[in-house]
Structure 1
């Protein structure tokens, strides 16, 4: 399974790849999207309400004439060349991370639909038939599982239908093609997506604002002297952030010590005995409908051994939406949120 692939239904206690993966209230930041954009959710029978991330341009900025985007355009993506011949007007985003990227870049007026939220309604991908009914002219996804025969079709299949596709570079099927998880590569990906939408100027706006936000987080050093256990999900063997993914980047940015910095990869299952031995000062909890932060707090607070951890005794918990813990448009928002919450904790 790809490092960032995801099954078609939520699995609160499922095991994911240790090498990484891709996707709420957000902190107040400059140039936030001024309106809540509603996009049709394919195959889910509901509409998705979402806000922009740090640096998002206004919703009125998504016209080709405003940016001078020229077509055709091409980018390299996961070992293949993606060419968009005409500016997309009916694009479909197939994961929350891809939705957030579209909103961050202010291209919602060029969207036909979205599917598969991580934070709130991690349900399923649309069928090929439902996807086709949207008459998409471009599709983007955060997980390789979106472009499979069990979902909307493979990338080759869609290309043959005249539908170009883009997959987050951290989720490439071929490990050799995957980008290293870094803020620079997140911003590079946003630039590629903006180019494919004909909105290169929007990416510049977003990236500049996010760099300013991240510099402020680093200067604050809110996590200085704090050992952090990042708990994503699972109670039998906790799934935690290793030394090479979104959580690692956030912990480095706030100046905290990662309790499992010796674990290679973005994510890994670790035994509770090692958590007890680490005895972290702070526990960061990813919050999603399939593994809520409160359910994890309840579990760890009532376990005979874990309830004695100093972070539990002192109720030093931090909650972050799952979508802000993976490399993408809202990872800087996640770093800002963790920084603010660390600063608010009593020492």
Structure 2
């Protein structure tokens, strides 16, 4: 499984604080700007949780890289009191802003640490942010006076398409009362996608298989996550789009049967890309696969393959690797 799913142990004190609801943020303070602003109260329905914001959050915490970078892309760093759980280096254009925010923990913070930051809002990229067993459920945080938002890729009503990126960015901007920033950011992001589309006009799609991880089976990208549309927009065909979820396990024999021309490696965690390549190149089940025989690989950082502001640049990166002749 992907290592981002591992969770640190929650301290007993943190659990007690959440259960009692006694460590939440201080009672209503005025927003940092001193006024509520237009668009409030604002009601947001998100992954089964309906929240009405009386004013923009001003003590926000972001957990998981794509959540953090959405906030930074919207220029919300002054409304943030903490962050945690990166998979990769923060994007260079957000580094200065990120460096001014307190890192609460390397991975997920305990309830004690999270509530000690006195947040009024927690934005999670993965459902594991709000893990009930660890005491960080959305309901428990609400009882402690903390509003929450979960990236909508974690609760899809169907396959996640590029429109979900627009919705996520606009929703976070709505919560913070900065809708104009969302539109400016989306114009930039769609400009990248339009440029890639123009460069790939008439191209023959490349058959590919995504290798995330696994040695007994292959953990791969299915047809329900944003990664599938990224592959399509980059001029590829995901040979496991029939896997009815964002990620799933398949056998290496299935990979061999479908004979990909390219293997896309998702890069993250403690296993270097070169080690993943070596494993695939020496796997007997894959010896006749065209991608393995021709040693044809593409690489994407994992943080670029989930719903956030990195998606368009990841589409461009993959397109350049699959069809280098189109982008000289």
Q: How far is the alpha carbon of 1:104 from its aligned partner?
A: 1.8
> How far apart in 2 are the matches of 1:70 and 1:246?
30
Q: Which residue of 1 aligns with 2:13?
A: none
The verdict on how the C-alpha distance between 1:279 and 1:193 changes in structure 2, with shifts beyond 3 A counting, is same
- Tell me the CA shift for residue 344 of structure 1: 2.6
SS in structure 2 of the partner of residue 233 of structure 1: coil
1:337 aligns with 2:320: no
The answer on whether the counterparts of 1:169 and 1:179 sit within 8 Å (CA) in structure 2 is: no
Q: Does the C-alpha gap of structure 1 residues 120 and 272 become closer, same or farther in structure 2, counting only changes over 3 Å?
A: farther
The reply on whether 1:210 has 2:193 as its aligned counterpart is no
CA–CA separation in structure 2 for the residues paired with 1:143 and 1:123:
15
SS at match of 2:191: helix
Structure-2-length-normalised TM-score? 0.78
| Residues 170 and 180, structure 1, Cα contact 8 Å, conserved in 2 | no
In 2, the alpha carbon distance for the partners of 1:73 and 1:115 equals: 26
Task: Provide closer, same or farther for how the CA distance between residues 146 and 103 of structure 1 changes in structure 2, counting only shifts above 3 A.
Answer: same
Aligned-residue RMSD, C-alpha: 2.8
- Asked if 1:170 is matched to 2:153, the reply is yes
- Point out the more displaced range, 87-96 or 70-79: 70-79
CA shift, 1:229, in A, is 0.8
Aligned counterpart, 1:293:
273
Structure whose CA Rg is larger:
2
2:278 alignment partner, SS class: helix
Distance 1:167 1:155, change over 3 A: same
User: 2:228 aligned with 1:257, yes or no?
Assistant: no
Other-structure match for 2:216: 236
Listed one character per residue, the Cα deviations across residues 135-170 of structure 1 (whole Å, up to 9, x for unaligned) are: 111111012221134446221222222211111122
Unaligned 5+ runs, structure 2:
9-31, 91-104
Between Structure 1 and Structure 2, how many residues are aligned? 285
1:319 lines up with 2:299 in the alignment? yes
1:194 to 170, 173, 194: 173
- Point out the structure with the larger helix share: 2
What is aligned with 1:147? 130
Equivalent position to 1:71, from 24, 33, 40:
40
The answer to whether structure 1 residue 266 and structure 2 residue 246 are counterparts is yes
- C-alpha deviation, 1:266, in angstroms: 1.9
Greater RCO (Cα-Cα under 8 Å, separation 6 or more):
1
Residues 329 and 305 of structure 1: CA distance in aligned 2, closer, same or farther (over 3 Å): same
Take 2:38 and 2:58, find their aligned partners in 1: how far apart are those partners?
13
Cα deviations by residue, 1:66-105 (Å, 9 ceiling, x for unpaired)? x964433221111222222222222000111211211221
The one-character-per-residue Cα deviations of 1:246-280 (angstroms, maximum 9, x if unpaired) are: 22111111221222233322222111111112221
